[in-house]
Amino acid sequence: MRTYFIKDGKEISEYFPAEGEWSNSPRSLRTRQTDIYYIDAIEDTEAFCLNVSDLMYLFNNHPEMERYARLSMGTVLGHLLERITSMRFTSAKEKYNHFIATYHDIHHRIPLGMIASYLGITQETLSRIRAEK
């Protein structure tokens, strides 16, 4: 799966949840408003969808679900902080190496154009970096 947004007509990949992970829009969940992010399956996927009222019911009646969500959000926050640091302070090659380390189980299943948009580089630059390996 992939979470992305559209900027100037281009899809910009933001996150690639793997099997067993969940994807949502924290802002949309909090504000109950449409967010800028989209979620797509990039390969055959079995997904479960919950509406907000059902999710809140689970959180209120099953503390383990609330705890799971809280721990998951902590993981996502850590990922986002690493991503911000990577985007601000590393070269394109370092960004790619960090991507491979972060998504070691699924990177080979993600199309190169989506990886390039995630890294904030062109697909040509990504191809050059990959050719160096």
Looking at residue 76, its pLDDT comes to 83
Q: CB of 12 within 8 A of CB of 40? A: no
Looking at residue 92, its pLDDT comes to 97
- Beta bridge partners of residue 120, listed in sequence order: none
At 45-85, the pLDDT tens digits run 998 888 889 999 999 999 999 999 889 888 888 888 998 99
What is the value of pTM for the model shown?
Answer: 0.84
Is the pLDDT at 26 greater than 90? The verdict is no
Whose tokens are 């993600």? That residue is 110
Is the pLDDT at 18 greater than 80? The verdict is yes
Is the pLDDT at 4 greater than 90? The verdict is yes
Looking at residue 7, its pLDDT comes to 95
In whole angstroms, what is the distance from residue 124 CA to residue 111 CA? 13
Is the pLDDT at 10 greater than 80? The verdict is yes
Is the pLDDT at 125 greater than 80? The verdict is yes
The DSSP secondary-structure symbol of 9 reads T
